[in-house]
Amino acid sequence: MSVENRTVSATTDPPAAPELAPADDWNPITVTDYPAEYRRLRAERPVAFTSDYDGFWGVMRYQDVQKGSRDWRTYTSGQPFVEFPEFMKSIPIQANPPVHTFFRKFLSQYFTADRVAMLVPDIEEVVAHNLDPLVARGGGDMIEEFGRIVPQQVLAKFMLLGDDAWEAMADSLARADAVRHDLAKHREVNKTLWNPTVEALIEDRRANPQDPAIDVMSGALLLEPDGRPITQEELVALGVQIFSAGADTTTAAIGSIVGHLGRHPEAQRELRDNPALIPTAIEELLRLAPPLHQVGRHTTRQVSSHGREIPEGVKVGLNVYSANRDEEKFDRAEEYVADRSPNPHLTFGHGPHQCMGSPIAREELRATLTQLLARTSSFELTAEPVSNGRPLRTGWTNVPVRFS
C-alpha cells in the first residue's frame, strides 16, 4: 500500500468491516504497479478482500466481472464507486430495475446514432479549436490545455448550454481535484458537486424550454415517459448523472492515448501509415487503460466464488481493469495490438449499466487522434506524464508533448 493511500485512509473514520472479514488479500496501490498486482490476483485470488475504503471484495477475472455486471439481482447498484460511500445522488447509475429501466428508456432517445451524428460537427470544431494553439507553438500539455477542456465543451454543446458554460463546469471539477489527496474532503465535495449547476439549468429550462426531442433536460421537464412526470429530485439526479459521467473519464482516456503514442513512435507510424486502424487502436487503449478500475456493487445474498464466501450486504468492486487484461479472454492480453478485433473490453461497462454516453466519448477520441495525427508529422513526450494520484483510477494530471 502506498504512503499516499495510508495517509488518505487515516483521514477517514470508516465503519466496521464486514463480520468475520478475512485478512487483507491486497491493498490499492500506485498506478505503475496495477498490471502486475492484478495479474497476481487473477492467478492467486480471483476474489480478493481489502480493508481499504471501508472494506470491499474485488472480482478480478473477465468472466466473473461480466457475469456480475449483468446480475443486478445479486450485485445491486447504489454505490457506483467503492471509495465514495455517499456519492452524488445520480440516476440511472445508482438505480436498479424497474426504476433504472424507466430512466434508461427515457434517456435512450437522446443517445441514438442520429443524435450523436448531429453532435459530430461540434465535436470536430471543439477539437480543432483547442488543438490549433498547441500545434501553432509546437506542443503543450495535453491535459491542462486540451483534455480538461474538450469534454466539457462537448458536453455543453450536447446540453445546449452557452459558449462559456464549460468554464463553470471545469471550475467544479477543479474544486474536487484540489482535494483528491484527502479522501475525507474529496468524499464531502462529491456529495453535491454538480447540484448547483444542475439546479440552475432546471430553472432555466422551466423558463426557457428547448426542443424536448433533442434537449434532455427540457424533455425531462415537459415529457411524461410512460405517463408519469419526473420529480424535481429525479430531475436533479438525472442531471448530476449526465454532468458527472462526462466529467473526467474522457479526459483520462485522452491522456492515456496521447501518453502511449508519445512513448511509442512505432505505434504512431503504424496509425499514420494506416489511418483506418484509428478506431481499433482507440478501443485497444481503452481496454488497456480504463479510466475507472472498479464498478461498485453490493451483494443481496451470500455468494460462493472461487472457494471464497462473499457475505450478503457487503461492498463489491467488479474490477474492469483486471478483467480487460485477463489472459483467458484476450490473446496477448498485456500487449497493445492496434488491429485487435473483436475487442469485447468492459471499459464502458456491461449489462444494464453499460455507458449510454460511450458513442459521444468515442467520437471525441476519434476526432482528437485523427486531427492530432493529420496535423503533425510526429509527437513525443517531453517528460513523463504526472499521475493524477487517484487510487483505483487511470489518468494523468499532466501529459507534456512536443509536436513536429
Give the CATH number, domain containing residue 273.
1.10.630.10
pLDDT digits (tens, 9 = 90+) for 207-216: 999 999 999 9
Least confident among 64-73, 225-234, 281-290: 225-234
**Averaged pLDDT of the chain:** 89
SS3 358: helix
CA 355 to chain centre: 9
pLDDT tens-digit map of 126-180: 999 999 999 999 999 999 999 999 999 999 999 999 888 888 777 777 777 777 6
pLDDT at 189 over 90: no
Domain that holds residue 120: 3-403
For range 42-63, the mean pLDDT: 95
Better-scored residue on pLDDT, 8 or 17: 17
What was the pLDDT predicted at 12? 34
3 state SS of 318: strand
Q: What is the mean pLDDT of residues 324-344?
A: 98
CA–CA separation, 208 vs 232, rounded Å?
Answer: 17
Cα separation, 154 vs 146, in Å, equals 12
pLDDT at 31: 67
Whether residue 11 is predicted with pLDDT greater than 50 in this model: the reply is: no
Tens digit of pLDDT for each residue in 341-362?
999 999 999 999 999 999 999 9
Indicate the DSSP class of residue 393.
B
Higher-confidence residue of 70 and 87: namely 70
User: pLDDT value at position 167?
Assistant: 80
Provide mean pLDDT across the span 368-377.
97
The total domain count for the chain is 1
CA distances from 37 to 82, 331, 335 (A): 18, 19, 16
Cα–Cα distances in angstroms (integers) from residue 120 to residues 24, 68, 154, 249, 367, in the given order: 47, 34, 10, 19, 9
pLDDT reading at 77 higher than 60: yes
Query: Is pLDDT at 268 greater than 90 in this prediction?
Result: yes
Helix axes 358-374, 265-273, angle to 10 degrees: 90
Place of cell 461480466: 66
